[in-house]
Each structure stands twice: as C-alpha cells, then as structure tokens.
Amino acid sequence: MSDLNTRMIEKYRNDFLKEVEANVEEGEWVKMCMQCGVCSGSCPLGKHWAHPPQEIFMMIRAGKREEVLTSDSMWMCTSCYNCIVRCPRELPITHIMHGLATYSKKLGLVPKGQPTATFAEIFWNNMMKKGRVNELKLGLSLYFKDGFGQGIKNAMANQKLGMSMMKAKRMSPAEFFGGHGIKDVGGLQKMIKKAQELEEARMKKFD
C-alpha cells in the first residue's frame, strides 16, 4: 500500500464508529441518527458550535476521528436537554456529547484552554480533595485560572456579588482554611480510583 493510502486510512479510520460505540457513553445510539437536524436547530448555543450534533454524528460515521475528538463542539453543551426532548428518534444527544467530551479528555485530545474543560477539571479536583465542593475555592480557582492579574480583576468585578453571598450565608470565608468535607475522604478516593481502573480495563483499544 502506498504511503498516501496509509496516511488517508489513518486520517479516516473506518472503525471510528465502532470505537465510539465501544468507548463512549451512549455511543451505540450514534448510528440511529437520521440527520434531520432538529437537534442543531433546537440548541440554544448552536451557533457557537463548530460542528452541531447532527454533523458530529455524521463525522463519526465518516470516520473523522481526529476532527471529532479534538473538536471543542461537544464542550459547548450546557445540558439543557432541548435536543433530547425534540429528537424524533430519542437519541440521548446530551449524554453522547458528554460521553465524547469525556472520551476526548481520557485520550488527552481536548483543545488547550477550552474553558468548559478547564472548569470541569477544576471542579473535579476541588471535589476530590474533601468529597464536597468547596465553593469559595472553586470560585477563586476560576478567577485566577488565567493568571494572577486577571484573577484580581475578576475578583474586583464580582466583589459585590461575593459580599452579598457571604451576607446571605451562601458562601463562608472560613472555607478558605480547609473547608468542610465528608467523613471518609480516603475511602471515597479509593472507591473512585477503583472505578477508574475498572473503566480503564473495559475500554477497548483502538489506537
């Protein structure tokens, strides 16, 4: 086989649909899409997607592995569930989008600096520390995610909101020192680790 052929095969992996079906949550639904486009038209953030859901499904079936997994489209999903409700074939589109995002994260293909992905990571790490989300620290991490200077600016801009939340006891400054958590954090962490191992073992190798 010529080099060009090999390169093209690499570019358009025909087994990408199978890979999605095996490794992406609800991926087995992708083949059910009939390309009516009602999901894309119903998405409130639709115009910000490089590839709307219907196109993503078609790209998966066309084997455009790289383009799909490195795309930031599925990270645009805000879980409003409009697409799921409207889909004439009841595809769990929201879940598939999250599944694709998770899978792309596992493979390390997330576009650099994608804000939703960054937020998800901050949220996860925050929650894993104590078994509860520390909202004060979550907020601060978000403010400072683009550097110290920008962080100060963000904090100043939202100063009033922060003060009101503290007054209303929606946020406590004491959370800065340690913060509340669950009884057995170590147990939780072990449990999650085990679950991740199981998931890892179940994942089929395609690359």
Partner 1 sequence: MTEVVATNQTILVVGGGISGMTAALEAAEAGAQVVLVEKRPYLGGRTSQLYKYFPKLCHPTCGLEINQRRAKMNPNLTILTSAEVTGLEGEPGNYTATVKITPTYVNDNCTACGECAKAVEAEFDDEYNYGLSKRKGAYLPHVMAHPMKYVLDPRIIGTDDAQKAKDACKYDAIDLDMEEREINFPVGAVVWATGWQPYDAAKIQPYGYDRFENVISSVEFERMADPKGPTGGKIVRPSDGKEAKNVAFIQCAGSRDRNHLWHCSRICCMASLKQTHYVVDAYGDDAQVSIYYIDIRAIDRFEDFYARVKAMDNVKFIKSKVASITLNKENGNPVLNGVDTEGYHRYANEHDLVVLAIGMQPSVGMDEFPVEVSLNREGFIEPSEENGGVFPAGCAADALDVNRAVQSATGAALKAIQVVNRVAGAEG
Task: Report the nearest approach of partner 1 to the CB of residue 143 (Å).
Answer: 34
Residue 37 interacts with partner 1 (CB under 8 A): yes or no: yes
CA 107 – CA 148 distance, rounded (Å): 30
Task: Report the nearest approach of partner 1 to the CB of residue 89 (Å).
Answer: 6
Structure tokens at 21: 């079906």
Task: Report the nearest approach of partner 1 to the CB of residue 35 (Å).
Answer: 5
Residue 157 interacts with partner 1 (CB under 8 A): yes or no: no
Task: Report the nearest approach of partner 1 to the CB of residue 44 (Å).
Answer: 11
Q: How many residues bind partner 1 (CB under 8 A)?
A: 19
Identify residues 48-107 at the interface with partner 1 (CB under 8 A). Answer: 51-52, 54-55, 85-86, 88-90
The one among 13, 21, 25, 46 contacting partner 1 by CB under 8 A: 46
Q: How many CA atoms lie within 13 A of 102 on its CB side?
A: 17
Task: Report the nearest approach of partner 1 to the CB of residue 32 (Å).
Answer: 11
- Name residue, tokens 């679950």: 195
Residue 35 interacts with partner 1 (CB under 8 A): yes or no: yes
Interface mask toward partner 1 for 15-34; x: CB under 8 A? -------------------x
User: Closer to partner 1 at the Cβ: 88 or 108?
Assistant: 88
Rg over CA atoms, the chain: 20
Task: Report the nearest approach of partner 1 to the CB of residue 45 (Å).
Answer: 12
User: Closer to partner 1 at the Cβ: 34 or 128?
Assistant: 34
Alpha-carbon distances of 151 from 24, 49, 119, rounded to whole Å: 35, 27, 15
Binding site for partner 1 (CB under 8 A): 34-38, 40-42, 46-47, 51-52, 54-55, 85-86, 88-90
